[in-house]
Structure 1
Amino acid sequence: MTGPNQDETTVVAETDPLGQSLRVAADHRRSRRTQRLRKLGLSSAVLVVALAVWWLVTRLELVPALYLPSPGAVWDAFVQSNTCRDLDSGRTVCGEQNYYMWEHLIASMQRIVVGVGVAVVLGPLVGFLMGSIEWLNTALEPYLNFLRSLPPLGYIGLLIVWFGIGNTSKYWLLFLAAFPPIVIATINGVRGVREDSIHAARSMGASRWQVGRHIVLPATLPEVIGGIRIAVGFAWTTVVAAELNAGLPGIGGLAYVSGQQLQTALTIACIIVIGLAAVALDALLKHLGTLLVPWYGRA
């Protein structure tokens, strides 16, 4: 038999769709929170295992310390690169190569901001034009693909000849690394706009400018943001090549110089910092993409 309380609950559920929707949303949030915790737990477990294996290999001296220093030695190198220390000669030295590691990191970030920033401004504009004007795309696409296929080390020497060993050549190198992915992503976004949406807007009296602003731009924006994420990642991997010559201060330059001086622990510390900075940048761009295009994947 069905009790009166059960009947009342059924009636409330049927007559209160808002409350039911809120409960479904709360269950969905709890499920997503549980999934994030599981992923975090799995990632943490893998990290702990990797550190344990690393420590065990160095503890048993299976690999010489010159080639693979212990996690403790890498941590000491990281701490030393961010603090001051007194030498036997009585002189006080701060950081590495006259700069703290965080100053090296900020110098590289500034180069990324300038080089990639210009690409973020010009790339979507060029991609939008190439995606909208067929003859322009036909004329420029081969050169865009040619530039995209070139490794940064292939033209760093030429950029140094043209612009010197200062920051200008580094800005150009990072710009050329980030520009093609953004342009290509924008072209794909423009060409992926549904024609029936454009025709519907035009049939309702929308001008070409209104179609571009309200139809093409929102539909293209997710692809542009994805291209920017790829471009920033590629430019960040290029920062070491950009800082091979006169790259101090710079985290890539510090990694290169410390490797030449056989400071393996410091080199590994720099590599870890470069990787963590790349992950943080990508997470930031992903979050910005979620804020700018909240409708992506839902409509």
Structure 2
Amino acid sequence: MPSLARARRKTAPASAEDAPPPAEGRRRGAVAGPLRRVGLRLLALAVLLGAWQAVVVLELWPPVLVPSPADVVDALVRTSTENDGVRGYQGHYLVEHLGVSLRRIAVGALIGVGVGLAVGLLMGTLAWVRVVVEPWVAFLRTLPPLAYFSLLVIWFGIDESPKIWLLAIAAMPPVAVATAAATASAPIALVEAAQAIGAGRRQVIRSVVLPAALPEILTGVRLAVGIAYSSVVAAETVNGLPGIGGMVRDAQRYNQSDVVILGLFAIGVSGLLIDSGLRLLERRLAPWRGRT
């Protein structure tokens, strides 16, 4: 009995403070991880801004080519306020330029994603459709947007239609390829099991193939939205004002590099926010990704 008591005293913690509950340790780790990532990203941003300011101070390039961070902030103020009776840049505030471009991207990407899902599903489930359609999808995927934008302008004029069509065409191939590959590689065992219990073709696709392919499909959607966003400057080369890409193109004509850099920052930051939203949606819709 004395030996048992001594063993218990050795294994028991000296006090409650010496042995924090496991749940508390997990909470601390859950908080420390995001804080560490945020700190590293802020540090990287500070280093980038410091290097940028050093380039300006050392005058490695003329200010017209590389404006200072203060000049870009000043451009942000100018394009977001009214100066001498002029609203923002070319009569529109920065947020209005960005909003118009986001609307174009949303409509074009939505059309491209919808068509890509339908085409990819047919390619992944019907072999003859894959043989016929896959070369054309690959052909469109390799074309840069500016290569066919001029033709779209000839067909649809210089209003909104060619811009929407360009973004839709740019967004369609990644979704089609990802959907076709994901549906074609659905687990054979699950498909055969569903067929064995009497499930029809549509039921198999709806209940087995699509859930298994959903994570890869969502990845294709993310890629498609990113490609559509990166094509917005090309889409707004013709009659692109108001629009963030049109603002960048117009400022480039007059060597307003501070406005150009401001527009690039606006595109990049809003693109990061959109991608973060899509990643969150992916985690909500396909929480089983990476799990067996």
Task: Say if 2:36 is the partner of 1:2.
Answer: no
% identical aligned pairs: 41
Whole-Å separation in 2 of the counterparts to 1:192 and 1:32: 35
State the TM-score, normalized to the length of structure 2: 0.91
What letter matches 1:103 in structure 2? E
- 1:81 counterpart SS class: helix
Q: What is the deviation of 1:39?
A: 1.8
What letter matches 1:240 in structure 2? V
1:174 paired residue number: 167
1:11 paired residue number: none
Deviations 1:196-218 (Å, cap 9, x if unpaired)? Answer: 11111211222222211111110
1:89 paired residue number: none
**1:246 maps to which of 239, 242, 254:** 239
Whole-Å separation in 2 of the counterparts to 1:132 and 1:286: 27
**1:51 maps to which of 40, 49, 52:** 49
- 2:83 counterpart SS class: strand
Whole-Å separation in 2 of the counterparts to 1:7 and 1:104: 66
Q: Which runs of 5+ in 2 are unaligned?
A: 1-5, 14-20
2:158 paired residue number: 165
What letter matches 2:81 in structure 1? T
**1:138 maps to which of 131, 144, 162:** 131
Whole-Å separation in 1 of the counterparts to 2:145 and 2:76: 28
Q: What is the deviation of 1:296?
A: 1.2
Deviations 1:62-114 (Å, cap 9, x if unpaired)? Answer: 2210000100000000111000112xxxxx11100110010000000010111
Q: What is the deviation of 1:241?
A: 0.3
Q: What is the deviation of 1:56?
A: 2.0
Matches within 5 A, 1:140-289: 140-289=133-282
Kindly tell me the number of residue pairs found equivalent between the two proteins. Answer: 280
Question: Alignment RMSD, CA only?
Answer: 1.8
Deviations 1:228-268 (Å, cap 9, x if unpaired)? Answer: 10001011010000000100000000001001111111110
Whole-Å separation in 1 of the counterparts to 2:187 and 2:65: 55
Q: In the superposition, relative to structure 1, how do residues 7 and 95 fare at CA in structure 2: closer, same or farther (>3 Å)?
A: closer
Whole-Å separation in 2 of the counterparts to 1:137 and 1:29: 49
1:17 paired residue number: none
Q: Which runs of 5+ in 1 are unaligned?
A: 9-21, 87-91
State the TM-score, normalized to the length of structure 1: 0.89
2:18 paired residue number: none
**1:290 maps to which of 280, 283, 290:** 283
